[in-house]
Structure 1
Amino acid sequence: MTVLNRRQDPRGRRVLITGASGTIGRALGERLTAAGAHVHGLDLRPTGDEPFPVLRCDVTDDDSVRRAVARALKALGGLDVLVNNAGTGGPAPAEYAPGAEVRRQLEINLLGTWRTTAACVDALVAARGRVVMVASRMAVLQLPLAAAYGASKRAMVAYADALRLELGTHVGVSCVYPSAVRSPIHDSTRAAGLSLEGMSVYEPLEGVLDAIGRAAFSTRPHRDVTTTRKGAVEFFLARHLPALTDRIVARALNARAAAGALDGAEPAAGVVARNRGTK
Structure 2
Amino acid sequence: MTGLTGRRVLVTGARGTFGRHLCAALTGVGARVVGLDLHGDADTIGCDLTDPAAVPPAVTAAVQRLGGLDLLVNNAGVGGPAPAELAPDEVVRRQLEVNLLAAWRTTAAALPALVPARGRVVFVASRMAVLPLPLAAAYGVSKRALVAYADALRHEVGTHVGVSVVYPSMVASPIHDSTADAGLSLSGVSRMEPVEGVVAAILRAATARRAPRDVATTGRGRLEMALARHAPALADRLVRRTVAGRIAAGDLDGAPLAAGMVRRHRDTGR
> Above 0.5 in TM-score?
yes
Tell me, in whole angstroms, the C-alpha distance in 1 between the residues paired with 2:187 and 2:27.
35
Tell me, in whole angstroms, the C-alpha distance in 2 between the residues paired with 1:144 and 1:239.
18
CA contact (8 A) 1:43 1:58 kept: yes
CA contact (8 A) 1:8 1:214 kept: no
Pair 1:203 & 2:193 matched: yes
* Distance verdict in 2 for CA 1:227–1:205, change over 3 Å: same
Task: Output the amino acid matched with 2:186.
Answer: L
Residue correspondence of structure 1 range 149-168 to structure 2 within 5 A: 149-168=139-158
Tell me, in whole angstroms, the C-alpha distance in 2 between the residues paired with 1:227 and 1:220.
18
Question: Which structure 2 residue ranges, 5 or more long, are not aligned?
Answer: none
Pair 1:144 & 2:134 matched: yes
CA contact (8 A) 2:13 2:75 kept: yes
Task: Output the amino acid matched with 2:211.
Answer: P
Q: Which SS does the other structure have where 1:193 is aligned?
A: coil
Of residues 5, 21, 28, the one that matches 1:27 is 21
Tell me, in whole angstroms, the C-alpha distance in 2 between the residues paired with 1:15 and 1:190.
33
Count residues in correspondence: 269
Tell me, in whole angstroms, the C-alpha distance in 2 between the residues paired with 1:8 and 1:187.
37
Residue correspondence of structure 1 range 217-256 to structure 2 within 5 A: 217-256=207-246
Tell me, in whole angstroms, the C-alpha distance in 2 between the residues paired with 1:130 and 1:236.
25
Q: Which SS does the other structure have where 2:9 is aligned?
A: strand
Pair 1:184 & 2:178 matched: no
Q: Which SS does the other structure have where 2:54 is aligned?
A: helix
Pair 1:83 & 2:83 matched: no
Of residues 28, 32, 36, the one that matches 1:38 is 32
Task: Output the amino acid matched with 2:5.
Answer: R
Once the 2 structures are TM-superposed, how far is the Cα of residue 45 of structure 1 from its aligned partner? 2.5
Structure 1 residue runs of 4+, over 6 Å off?
none
RMSD: 1.3
**Which residue does 2:264 correspond to in 1?**
274
Amino-acid identity (%): 64
**Which residue does 2:10 correspond to in 1?**
16
Q: Which SS does the other structure have where 1:132 is aligned?
A: strand
Q: Which SS does the other structure have where 1:276 is aligned?
A: helix
Once the 2 structures are TM-superposed, how far is the Cα of residue 8 of structure 1 from its aligned partner? 4.3
TM-score normalised by structure 1 residue count: 0.94
Tell me, in whole angstroms, the C-alpha distance in 2 between the residues paired with 1:161 and 1:274.
37
Of residues 90, 101, 107, the one that matches 1:100 is 90
Q: Which SS does the other structure have where 2:78 is aligned?
A: coil
Once the 2 structures are TM-superposed, how far is the Cα of residue 197 of structure 1 from its aligned partner? 1.2
Tell me, in whole angstroms, the C-alpha distance in 2 between the residues paired with 1:274 and 1:187.
26
Task: Output the amino acid matched with 2:117.
Answer: A
Q: Which SS does the other structure have where 1:159 is aligned?
A: helix
CA deviations 1:69-102 (Å, max 9, x no partner) are: 1110000011000000000001000011111111
Task: Output the amino acid matched with 1:15.
Answer: V
CA contact (8 A) 1:90 1:189 kept: yes
**Which residue does 1:4 correspond to in 2?**
none
Tell me, in whole angstroms, the C-alpha distance in 2 between the residues paired with 1:69 and 1:45.
15
**Which residue does 1:3 correspond to in 2?**
none
**Which residue does 1:125 correspond to in 2?**
115
CA deviations 1:141-190 (Å, max 9, x no partner) are: 00110000000000000000000000011000000000011110000001
CA contact (8 A) 1:179 1:202 kept: yes
Task: Output the amino acid matched with 1:208.
Answer: V
